Amino acid sequence: MLELRGISRRFGATHALDDVSLALSEGEVLGLVGPNGAGKSTLIKIVAGADQPDAGEILIDGKPVQFHSAHDAYAAGIRVIHQDAPLVPGFDTVENCYLGRHYPRRAGLIDRKAMREAIAEVAADIAPELDLDLPVMFLPPAERQFVRLLRAIADKGRLLILDEPTAALPAEDAERFYEVLRRTRERGTAIVLVSHRLDEIADFCGRAVVIRDGRIVARFGTGEVKPEAMIAAMGGSATERSTRATDTSAPRIIELDGVAAGDLSRAASLHVHAGEVMALYGLAGSGRSSLLNAIWGAIPSTGSMRLEGAAYAPRSPRDAIARGVSCVPADRHRSGLFLDQDLVFNKTLPLLSTYRRARGLPVPDTAAERAEFLVAAERVSLTYRDPQQLARTLSGGNQQKLIFSRWANRHSRVMLLDEPTEGVDVMAKATIKEIIRAIAADGNAVLVSTSDRDEALELGDRIAVFRNGGIVRIFSRAEASAEALSVAAQSREAA
């Protein structure tokens, strides 16, 4: 139904897109893969009518069309679903699906019954379990994604473009989401799936294209869509799994005894040795993030902690920093960055008092800050234009590296990382993983919380699996396997 011929788009001297051609028929799913900044977003914008190509043509059902605005593309049945497309929290699913549409009327009044019937008909097809009458604020994240899908197809959507639809979902919910998406496809809807999770692309997409530097560099047909091949086409190499065994003779840097906090309702005990990476694996809300936040002093906790043998009871992140603990929080936009401030500001903020012009004078020495920023940026391979550029102008991967750079010039005894590679492209992921290993190799303790099983396997020297607010098991490197982790994290009966 959709065909692109020779689409090009340039911004100044850069070719954001260079002669991109592809076609898609009804009921087909195409994976769109590429590193950040490769041109995926530009391509999506052009198909969605939000941007216009400099050359090339778009054909719908074989007829050339010109999209002057997002409205034109919408009228042609094209729907883009962004990962955080806003829903009105107090509206139920039916009302959210009718946002921006004409309401059916009866005797001059809005006809709720007709609205509900129209949505229920589509919902019965793709997500029969969805409660249409509950305000979406009470729906779990996975079901909100169903609502977005439903909204997109309920009003004559024929082509869906999904941008990282599962980035915020734990594995189990992602599977449910793909089940719903599969049923959507069976209705004849064409789907373009953009994701950094290559295994999902491989599982779900009949075909895939890899885009790099504005060009399609590889096309994979039925049976050829494999993560390793896509990584190779993107210019990366498949990362290896951790093969190191824990050195149990190394001193225990941090020890937790019966700690409970936030979602972590059942007392958890664990210890991490010097030089060790402990992965904390589990679904969202299983308690792994709460454990990190407790060590970081961000939430109150019970139980006892010891840091390098001494009692440790941080009342705030400030206390934690003072004891040599560092943290890269989850959700960098909400919890990490100051988007409207420059890179140096973002880097030096947590340890700002170490840059004083003179002892006791709380006035930062901007030259010293800048110098340390340059060193730290180099250390985390940050790609940037100018130390003074705003943090919001960096790509996702670089924003994450910027947060890492905060701790790059100091010796962190304990490094806490919460979903460190979320929404980051494959290349940046590889760099971030190297940084994590280097921190551990320096003789420090690293705790990585993740909902990505493969990441847990790849990074963890040991893996603590969380379920329902507690640790169910701590796997050694040798015991851990993808299946064993999944079973431990998701089985319903208690361990």
Partner 1 sequence: MTRTNLNRFGTLIAFVLLCVGFSIAAPQAFASPANVFNLVQQMATLAIVATAATLVMTISEFDLSVGFSASLAAVICFVLFGQGYDVWLAVPAALLAGLAGGAANGVLVARFGIPSFVATLALGTILSGFAFGLSGGQSLFQSVPDAFKALARGDVLGIPVLGFWIVGVLGVAAFVLTQTEFGRRLKAIGGNAQAARLAGLPIMRDVIVTFAIAGGLSALAGLLLAARLGSVQHTMGEPLLLPAYAAVFIGTTASPTGAPTVAGTLLGVAITGVMVNGMTIVGVEPFVQKIMTGVIILVAVLLRRVGRAK
Q: Which residues bind partner 1 (CB under 8 A)?
A: 296, 298, 316-318, 320-321, 327, 329, 334-341, 345, 349-350, 352-353, 356, 362-364, 390, 406
Return the number of the residue (9 or 462) whose C-beta is nearest partner 1.
Answer: 9
**How many C-beta neighbours within 10 Å does residue 370 have?**
17
CA separation for the pair 178, 166 (Å, rounded): 9
In the bound complex, what is the minimum distance in angstroms from residue 352's beta carbon to partner 1? 5
In the bound complex, what is the minimum distance in angstroms from residue 64's beta carbon to partner 1? 29
Return the number of the residue (177 or 296) whose C-beta is nearest partner 1.
Answer: 296
| Cα→Cα distances 159→23, 101, 188, 235, Å | 12, 18, 9, 29
In the bound complex, what is the minimum distance in angstroms from residue 321's beta carbon to partner 1? 5
CA separation for the pair 185, 182 (Å, rounded): 5
Return the number of the residue (165 or 420) whose C-beta is nearest partner 1.
Answer: 420
Return the number of the residue (327 or 432) whose C-beta is nearest partner 1.
Answer: 327
- Which residue type does 275 have? G
Region of 423 (left: φ > 0; alpha: ψ -120 to 50; beta: rest) is left
Return the number of the residue (262 or 317) whose C-beta is nearest partner 1.
Answer: 317
Give all strands of the β-sheet with 302-307 in edge-to-edge order.
264-273, 252-261, 302-307, 310-312
In the bound complex, what is the minimum distance in angstroms from residue 368's beta carbon to partner 1? 13
Return the number of the residue (293 or 451) whose C-beta is nearest partner 1.
Answer: 293
In the bound complex, what is the minimum distance in angstroms from residue 367's beta carbon to partner 1? 13
In the bound complex, what is the minimum distance in angstroms from residue 407's beta carbon to partner 1? 11
Return the number of the residue (138 or 338) whose C-beta is nearest partner 1.
Answer: 338
In the bound complex, what is the minimum distance in angstroms from residue 99's beta carbon to partner 1? 23
CA separation for the pair 274, 219 (Å, rounded): 45
In the bound complex, what is the minimum distance in angstroms from residue 298's beta carbon to partner 1? 6
Return the number of the residue (40 or 332) whose C-beta is nearest partner 1.
Answer: 332
In the bound complex, what is the minimum distance in angstroms from residue 329's beta carbon to partner 1? 5
Return the number of the residue (157 or 364) whose C-beta is nearest partner 1.
Answer: 364
Between the two ends of the chain, the Cα-to-Cα distance in Å is 50
For 474-489, b where at least 16 C-beta lie within 10 A, e where not — what string?
A: bbebeebeeeebeebb
In this structure, is the dihedral angle defined by the CA atoms of residues 206, 177, 420 and 242, taken in order, positive or negative? negative
Q: Which residue has the tokens 């599962």?
A: 166
